[in-house]
Amino acid sequence: MVEQDFGSADVWGWKDPRTCLTLPFWQQILPSMRYVICLRNPVDVARSLERRDGLSVEQAINLWLVYMKFALQHTDGQERIFVAYEDLMDNHRHELQRLARFVGKPERAEQADVQNAVHRFIDPKLQHHRTPTMEATADAQPTAGALALSLAHQVYTRLRQDEQVRQSEIAQSLAKAMDTLSPEIRKQKQQAYDSWLEELHLTKQQLTRVISPGDTVILVNEDQWQSNATIVGCHSLPFLERDGHYWGPPPDDDTAILELERLRQAGASFMVFAWPALPWLAYYPGLHHHLRSTYRCVLEDDRVIAFDLRS
């Protein structure tokens, strides 16, 4: 696939933060890569992830630390350049020149089409969070999250100012920050798991009010529940299903409807959407319309939606 898509390109690349974690795989295929490591103030990253994904400060900082740890570890001793998000927003022409030199095409930075493309692409309005360096941790309380945030900010500052900083020194700071966060991260994971178990218990209780023991249920839960077969004393089928096992989400509405009807004709009496898969009803509007217009909804709240396929 790489050869097919990029074999004729003189210079090419791709961007995906998760590549930080999977670089050893790619390095087997593309051993001569160069690396552009993008930096952003971890304080702003934490605020962005809190706003967008609902992560706690501790979870957000831990994510930043993990990605940075592996990005640095997997590129140690290789050709790499650090580019700070803030520097790109403030002076994109200077950063463009640095990048052009790095990829061996310094003349490209001076070409009008490249400069215009970069100028059109950069939009300061999309920078929702920006914490001045001096204020990044000035008001931080001495909590595990605040201490880890301070250490993460120190790493960010060092990398932004000095590309030749010693790997071992940075690795030590990252490890210290992650160790500081570890107890709180474990605590939050346990709390989340306990909450998940409580949600599961309450949902099972709700389902017993509308589904009888012995019924066959199509259970849409992205295979995230435990003990599917004993949820309400009935037989449950994953969706999509192949030989009784979860096969993944349907590719489109038509497939979903065909599978629903196949399982209904095979004896399924109910279709239940549990909270992990409630967004499916928005993602598959055709399936949603088919269910609403054809079958009776017998249970609906924030945890679960159930349709009686017998009606």
| DSSP β-bridge partners for residue 235 | 216
- Supply the pLDDT for residue 133: 46
Judged against a pLDDT cut of 80, whether residue 98 lies above it is answered with: yes
Judged against a pLDDT cut of 90, whether residue 143 lies above it is answered with: no
Judge if 173 and 214 occupy the same domain.
Answer: no
Query: Could you list the residue range(s) of the whole structural domain that residue 231 is in?
Result: 208-308
Report the percent of the chain where pLDDT is more than 70: 91
Give a yes or no: residue 198 inside a domain: no
Buried b / exposed e along 6-43 (16+ C-beta atoms within 10 A): eeeeeeeeeeeeebbeebeeeeeeeeeeebebebbbbb
- Tell me the per-residue pLDDT of 278-300, one tens digit each, with 9 for 90 and over: 999 999 999 999 999 999 999 99
- Out of 138, 159, 191, a domain closes at 191
- Supply the pLDDT for residue 128: 55
SS3 label, residue 180: helix
- Supply the pLDDT for residue 127: 63
Could you tell me which residues come within 8 angstroms of residue 41 by beta carbon, excluding any fewer than 6 positions away? 85, 86, 130, 131, 133, 136, 153, 156
Q: What strands lie across the sheet with 304-308, from one edge to the other?
A: 235-238, 216-220, 270-274, 304-308, 296-300
Q: How far apart are CA 62 and CA 104, in angstroms?
A: 35
Least trusted range by pLDDT, from 51-65, 109-123, 128-142 = 128-142
Report the percent of the chain where pLDDT is more than 90: 44
Judge if 234 and 155 occupy the same domain.
Answer: no
SS3 label, residue 161: helix
Judge if 146 and 228 occupy the same domain.
Answer: no
End-to-end CA distance of the chain: 49
Give a yes or no: residue 147 inside a domain: yes
- Tell me the per-residue pLDDT of 153-195, one tens digit each, with 9 for 90 and over: 888 888 888 767 777 788 888 898 889 889 999 999 999 889 9
CA angle, 57 then 63 then 67, to 5°: 150
Judge if 162 and 247 occupy the same domain.
Answer: no
Mean pLDDT of 5-28: 91
- Supply the pLDDT for residue 161: 82
Give a yes or no: residue 62 inside a domain: yes
Judged against a pLDDT cut of 90, whether residue 123 lies above it is answered with: no
Judge if 279 and 254 occupy the same domain.
Answer: yes
- Out of 163, 191, 219, a domain closes at 191
Give a yes or no: residue 180 inside a domain: yes
Judge if 236 and 87 occupy the same domain.
Answer: no
Give a yes or no: residue 202 inside a domain: no
Task: List C-alpha distances in Å: 144 to 58, 61, 237.
Answer: 8, 11, 44
- Supply the pLDDT for residue 304: 92
Q: For residues 192 and 219, is the Cβ–Cβ distance under 8 A?
A: no
Judge if 41 and 130 occupy the same domain.
Answer: yes
Could you tell me which residues come within 8 angstroms of residue 3 by beta carbon, excluding any fewer than 6 positions away? none
Judge if 104 and 61 occupy the same domain.
Answer: yes
Q: Is the dihedral of CA 109, 113, 118, 119 positive or negative?
A: positive
Judge if 259 and 182 occupy the same domain.
Answer: no
Mean pLDDT of 73-89: 90
Nearest to residue 37, comparing CAs of 19, 22, 25?
19
SS3 label, residue 165: coil
Give a yes or no: residue 76 inside a domain: yes
Summary mean pLDDT of the chain: 87
Q: What are phi and psi of 208, to 5 degrees?
A: -65, -15
Judge if 17 and 162 occupy the same domain.
Answer: yes
Give a yes or no: residue 170 inside a domain: yes
pLDDT tier at 47, thresholds 50, 70, 90? confident
Q: For residues 65 and 174, is the Cβ–Cβ distance under 8 A?
A: yes
Judge if 51 and 148 occupy the same domain.
Answer: yes
Give a yes or no: residue 197 inside a domain: no
Judged against a pLDDT cut of 80, whether residue 149 lies above it is answered with: yes
The total number of structural domains that make up the chain: 2
Q: What are phi and psi of 213, to 5 degrees?
A: -55, 135
Judge if 43 and 141 occupy the same domain.
Answer: yes
- Supply the pLDDT for residue 136: 46
pLDDT tier at 134, thresholds 50, 70, 90? very low
